[in-house]
Structures are given as C-alpha cells and as structure tokens.
C-alpha cells in the first residue's frame, strides 16, 4: 500500500538539503558544506559546523544526544546541540559513518582500510565511540547496514551498490544492490527476495526492513515484512529519486528533489519538512554563476561527445538548472552535477575535482590488534616477491620485525589504544620513523628500529592475497595447476600477465586466470589471444618433442570473474567466452562496456569524462552488453560464512573444474615418424 501524502501546497523552504537523519525531535542534514539541525516539524535551521571542508552523513545516536558524521574521509562525533567535536578515525583511506549500534556504544562504519583488489575483505566495522581501533564485522562484503532492535542481526547490502556512488541511474549490471540479513551470533545468512533492480540502504525497524529501490525506474521507499515475507511499496515518486533515507525512532527521513520528507512508521504517512536556512549561508552571485556555468559545461560535454547521447537529454537540463540555483557550496554544486549526469544511465561518466592533497598518515603495511594496553602486530604484509623496492616497511629482513610484537612508541611517543593506531602516524606519510617494539607488552626491554612509512598499503595487501591464492591452488593441485591474477588489461596489467604466463606455462598442466576486480583497459584481446592460441607447428630434437618457445600452454584453462570487473575487465571474460577457451566461473560482471575518451574542463575546477566509444563485436553481430555485463558459465556467489572461514568458493570451483578438465584433456598428439622429403 502506498503511503498517504498529506495534502499540501507546493513544497516550501530551502531546497537542496541533503543526507538527512532524524531523532525524536530534530532532523539533521547537510547544506552549504556544513551540518545543520532543525525541528522535526520544520522551521529555522541551526548550523553546527563552519569548516572549509564539507561534512556529510550525520547520524543521531539512539538517545538523540550525539551526532556522528564524516569529514574528508574520517569519522567524528559531537553533541547534537553543537560545540566541540571528537575525531575517531585517522586512516588515509575513506571511513564513513553508517549507523549506531542499538546500545549507543559503537558506530557502524564503512571503510576501505583493508581493501586490495577485491571485496573479500571486511568493509563494515564497529568503531568504539570512546575511541580505539575499528573491529571488522564477519561480513567480507558490505556497504550500508542497519541492526535489528536487539543488535544481534544486521541487514546490509552485500553488493557494492554502485547506483549510490556512481552517476548511473537505472543501473542493471552485475553489481545490482540487494539486501541480506546476517545473524552475528549464529553465523546465519539469508537474503531478502531479489528484484532485477537496485534494492539498497536497508533500515531495520521492529519486524520490518525498509529500503529504497528503483525497481520501477525511480527510487522509492519499500517495506519488507519479515513475518509475512511480503514487500510493499510506500511512495510513488516518478520525477525525483528518494535519496539518502535514514531511520529514526519512529520515522524515516529522506530527500526528494532537494526537499526533506518524513515517513511516519506508525501511520505510514508522508509529510514534507519545511526548513529555512538563514540567508547568510548562501554564496555570492559570482560563485552561483560559476556553478550554473559548470552545469551548462557538463550538459554540453555529454551532448557533444557521448557515443550515444540519450534521446531525452534536452529535457534534463531545466530540472537541474532549477536545483543548481540552491547550491551554496561546491559540494552542493557537485551533487547536482552528478545527479544530472546520472540521468544518462550509462557507464564511464566520471566527474573529478583536480588534484587531491596527498595523504599525511603514514602506514606500516601491517594489521594491529589492541591487547594488554598496547597495539600488537597481527600480520605483516611483505609486498611483491623478488622486488626489494616493493617490500613493506616492516618486511626488510635486517629489521627482524616479527608478527606478535607490540608497538610501544612512535618517534619516542607512547601509542595509546584509546585512539586508533593510525593517529600516531599523522604527518608521517613517506617519512622515516623510529618505532619502539617489544616482544612483551611493556616498555622494559624494548628495542628501536627505523622504517619509512608508505602512504598507501593496498598494493602490499594485493600481493599478499595473490601469493596466498597461488599457494592455495598449488597445494590443492599438488603443483599441477597454475594461478595468475589479472588486475587490469592496460599495458601494465598485460605485461604482468605475460611475465606470469611465461613463468608458469611449462611448469603446470592447467592454469586458472583470475580476473576478479579487473579495473579495465584496452588490451583484453591480447590476453585472450595468449590463452586461446594454438601452435602452428611442433618442434623436435633427437630426444623427442621440444617445448614450444612461444606462449602456448597445452592444457585446460579456467577464468574467474565477478561483479567488480568493469570496462576492459568486462570485455576480458566476454572475449574469453567467445573464443571458447574454457569455463568461466564467478558472478556477472559490472556491465560498464562502453568506453571513455578525453577529459573535458568544467568551470569550477572539475574534469569530466564521458563515454565516447561503443564496441561492436564482429562475428557475434552485436554490441557489447552495456548495463548488463557477462554471465559466467558457473555462477558462484560469495556468502559471508565461507569467506570468514578462510575459504574462497569461486577459486575452489575453478580448481575443481581444472581437475575435471585434466581427466579428459587430450594433449596435442605427436606427428607420424619423420621422413625426409624425396
């Protein structure tokens, strides 16, 4: 049943209020790059922050006394009445406040801090409000989330929900958002019924889960009754999406067309919240003119250069010109630009804002755990094998740093566990630091080592993951099956693939090529050519057949792909399937299968990339499947209980398929005995 929208005049108040949250008596939101609060019934807003950087994602604590929020990729907390704030995270990769636990002691945050090439690692963490290290939840894939009232279960999005962070409306590729429930006590997993659309941003209230979905083209609110197992649509918007819905004690607040609305959960009724933001928050005419020009620049760049500009593009601009008139900060303007560009419903639309400042937090390429009053080294990431220049900061043999040692001090200053460990390395990115280490949780008997930190440790984690996968395949196959991961199909990725292929092809009987998380490029056909090639001749000496010196591997091949393979990473499994090289395992790829071109300058300092190329496949007589992706022969989805036990079901199936193929694989037969030509 659709929610009843109370009869009223046109929406009133300030427009372009974003990312709202709601308590029993207030709504919080973002406008003009700052946080604001206003009465739930509407009225004049009160500003909570006045910083140069843009804040986002305010979240009220369960008692309504505190607000957690995000600024420049870190999480802060402050009183809901305003005043001083307290920083909770320091990691150089983005952290984002998602929700509070029902008891108010922890924040659920989304973080990329353990990220490598794939999404097997945790992305949802519990962060103590009193400070300390975020603890990963046993959910290796997760974005938004909401706890059950008793805190024992969580509803979350297992897929990356790209419809929320890319300008791509009506997305239907392999990364479609869906909602699952995970029982944190019993390690049980179940999914809500999926649609062929994006079901995102779950909010758990009582015995129901509210969420947003674009199953009818426009994002609207829905309710899933857990007892009756039925889904009901609650709103009926057709012009503007429901944006950033957030759950309070008795209502959901959301944005639609720049205005805020509340959905009363008992009455199932919708009401606009008319809010007035003081005029001093608005910028001068020069800034506003610049943003209007930016919108015109972006609209024209897509119209004039897109490979296939959508037919309704002429009708898009007026709506967003009106919305842009309310922009009061560059973050507001950027939001409007992205929303407008999303109306194209296509991939490879990228809006960027100049060079970003380099991270100032140094990293050690290690995992830590708070223990006995100190941070203890749990794991050291050693970097690329055989490349001393790519070793992790703690991995040099002369340092003799061991997993299990305690980090006592950095540059002589004690490292407290009341703040996360990264705080001790602020301002130390890429610099030499003196670490005080000890095998025991004590300052007595400690030693000092000097290392150089890194600003980004993702490549270290990536090499560790590849090394572990290769070892897993070798152990399971007794060395008969090789393993290569292909991170991209640009020049660097192809050359890395060739090195690995040459190194392994004569040592193994079969090979697994893992293309999960492949970020794209223009040379997917080069890799498929190597995998599919058949020799034109065989070579012999007096002892018999000589190994072919080119790149042919006479054995079965298996490829793995997933929903994070995009662009050239989509095309790689497509061409692989087309060439009938071998089985394809995993999940449907992202479906970004048109290509980007030049970067166009947009007034205000932005750069815009639009999709300038389409690809028609000769022989198949079809265009690449943009906004769908490539379906594997063997669909293997990743469930949290398998991954948290150290398993990788997609890789396991690939190993099984390689073994099965080896049972029947016929190597190239020898020719008849040699006879000289007459």
Walking along the chain (678 residues) 10 residues at a time, the average pLDDT comes out as 56 96 98 97 96 95 97 96 96 94 96 71 88 90 92 92 90 95 92 95 97 96 97 96 97 97 95 91 86 98 96 94 96 97 97 85 96 96 79 90 97 96 96 96 95 94 93 96 97 94 93 96 95 88 82 93 96 97 97 94 96 94 95 93 82 97 92 88
What global pTM score does this model have?
0.94
d(CA 30, CA 100): 19
d(CA 75, CA 452): 27
Query: Helix (H, G, I), strand (E, B), or coil: what is residue 65?
Result: coil
DSSP characters for 595-647?
A: EEEEEEEETTTEEEEEEEE--EETTTTEE--TTT----SEE-PPPHHHHTTT-
- The tokens describing 392, both together, are 């992790």
- The tokens describing 291, both together, are 């943003």
d(CA 177, CA 219): 12
DSSP characters for 189-258?
A: EEEPPP-SS-EEEEEEETTEEEEEE-TTSS-EEEEEETTTTEEEE----SSS-EEEEEE-SSEEEEEETT
d(CA 295, CA 100): 36
Query: Any idea which residue has 């639609």 for tokens?
Result: 256
pLDDT given for residue 604 in this prediction: 94
Determine contact, residues 174/206, Cβ cutoff 8 Å: no
Query: Helix (H, G, I), strand (E, B), or coil: what is residue 442?
Result: coil
pLDDT given for residue 6 in this prediction: 46
3-state helix/strand/coil string of 141-198: CCCCEEECCCCCEEEECCCCCHHHHCCCCCCCCCCCCCCEEEECCCCEEEECCCCCCC
241 dihedral zone (left: phi>0; alpha: psi -120 to 50; beta): beta
Contacts of 621 (CB under 8 A, 6+ apart): none
Determine contact, residues 571/593, Cβ cutoff 8 Å: yes
Classify domain 366-455 at the CATH class level: mainly beta
pLDDT given for residue 546 in this prediction: 85
- The tokens describing 623, both together, are 């265009």
Bridge partner list, 483: 512
pLDDT given for residue 2 in this prediction: 60
What b/e readout covers 312-344, taking b as 16+ CB neighbours within 10 angstroms? eeeebbebbeebbebbbbbbbbbbbbbbbbbbb
pLDDT given for residue 7 in this prediction: 40
- The tokens describing 344, both together, are 């194209």
- Whether domain 479-592+627-664 has CATH 2.40.30.10: the reply is no
Contacts of 370 (CB under 8 A, 6+ apart): 132, 133, 376, 417
pLDDT given for residue 121 in this prediction: 66
pLDDT given for residue 160 in this prediction: 79
- The tokens describing 579, both together, are 């060439």
Domain ranges of the chain: 4-280, 366-455, 479-592+627-664
- Whether domain 4-280 has CATH 3.40.109.10: the reply is no
Determine contact, residues 565/572, Cβ cutoff 8 Å: yes
d(CA 302, CA 341): 8
Element (H, E) at 586: strand 584-586
């Amino acid at each position: 049943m659709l929610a009843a929208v109370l009869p009223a005049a046109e929406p009133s108040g300030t427009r372009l209020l974003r990312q709202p949250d709601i308590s029993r008596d207030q709504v919080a939101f973002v406008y003009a790059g700052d946080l604001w609060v206003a009465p739930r019934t509407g009225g004049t807003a009160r500003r909570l922050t006045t910083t140069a950087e843009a804040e986002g994602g305010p979240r009220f604590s369960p008692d309504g006394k505190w607000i957690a929020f995000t600024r420049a990729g870190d999480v802060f907390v402050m009183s809901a009445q305003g005043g001083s704030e307290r920083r909770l995270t320091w990691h150089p990769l983005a952290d984002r406040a998602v929700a509070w636990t029902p008891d108010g002691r922890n924040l659920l945050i989304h973080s990329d801090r353990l990220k490598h090439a794939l999404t097997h690692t945790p992305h949802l963490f519990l962060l103590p409000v009193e400070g300390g290290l975020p603890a990963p939840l046993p959910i290796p894939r997760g974005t938004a989330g909401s706890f059950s009232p008793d805190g024992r279960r969580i509803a979350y999005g297992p897929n990356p929900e790209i419809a929320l962070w890319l300008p791509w409306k009506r997305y239907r590729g392999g990364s479609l958002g869906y909602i699952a429930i995970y029982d944190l006590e019993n390690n049980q997993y179940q999914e809500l019924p999926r649609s062929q659309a994006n079901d995102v941003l779950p909010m758990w209230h009582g015995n129901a889960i509210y969420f947003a979905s674009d199953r009818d083209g426009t994002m609207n609110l829905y309710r899933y009754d857990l007892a009756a197992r039925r889904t009901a649509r609650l709103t009926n918007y057709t012009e503007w999406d429901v944006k950033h819905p957030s759950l309070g004690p008795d209502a959901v607040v959301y944005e639609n067309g720049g205005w805020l609305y509340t959905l009363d959960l008992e009455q199932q009724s919708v009401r606009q919240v008319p809010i007035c933001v003081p005029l001093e928050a608005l910028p001068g005419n020069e800034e506003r003119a610049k943003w209007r020009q930016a919108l015109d620049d972006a609209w024209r760049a897509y119209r004039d250069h897109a490979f296939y500009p959508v037919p309704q593009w002429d009708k898009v601009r007026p709506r967003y010109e009106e919305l842009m008139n309310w922009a009061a900060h560059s973050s507001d303007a950027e939001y409007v630009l992205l929303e407008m560009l999303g109306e194209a419903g296509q991939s490879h639309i990228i809006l960027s804002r100049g060079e970003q400042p380099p991270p100032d937090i140094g990293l050690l390429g290690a995992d830590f755990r708070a223990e006995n009053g100190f941070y203890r080294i749990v794991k050291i990431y050693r970097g690329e094998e055989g490349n001393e220049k790519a070793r992790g900061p703690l991995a040099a043999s002369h340092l003799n740093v061991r997993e299990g040692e305690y980090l006592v001090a950095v540059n002589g200053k004690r490292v407290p566990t009341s703040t996360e460990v990264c705080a001790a390395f602020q301002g130390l990115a890429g610099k030499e630091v003196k670490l005080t280490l000890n095998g025991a949780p004590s300052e007595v008997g400690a030693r000092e080592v000097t290392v150089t930190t890194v600003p980004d440790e993702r490549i270290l984690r990536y090499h560790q993951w590849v090394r572990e996968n290769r070892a897993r395949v070798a152990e399971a196959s007794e060395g008969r099956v090789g393993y290569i991961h292909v991170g991209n199909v640009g020049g660097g990725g192809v050359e890395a693939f060739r090195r690995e292929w040459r190194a392994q092809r004569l040592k193994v009987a079969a090979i697994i090529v893992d293309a999960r998380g492949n970020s794209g490029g223009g040379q997917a056909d080069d890799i498929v050519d190597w995998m599919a090639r058949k020799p034109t001749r065989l070579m012999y000496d007096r002892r018999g057949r000589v190994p072919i010196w080119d790149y042919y591997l006479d054995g079965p091949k298996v490829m793995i792909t997933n929903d994070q393979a995009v662009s050239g990473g989509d095309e790689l499994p497509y061409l692989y399937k087309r060439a009938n090289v071998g089985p394809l395992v995993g999940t449907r790829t992202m479906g970004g299968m048109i290509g980007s071109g030049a970067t166009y300058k947009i007034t205000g300092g932005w750069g815009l990339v639009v999709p300038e190329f389409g690809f028609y496949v000769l022989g198949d007589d079809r265009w690449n499947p943009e906004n769908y992706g490539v379906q594997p022969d063997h669909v293997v989805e990743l469930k949290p209980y398998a991954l948290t036990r150290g398993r990788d079901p997609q890789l396991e199936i690939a190993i099984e398929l390689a073994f099965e193929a080896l049972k029947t694989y016929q190597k190239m037969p020898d020719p008849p005995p040699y006879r000289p030509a007459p």
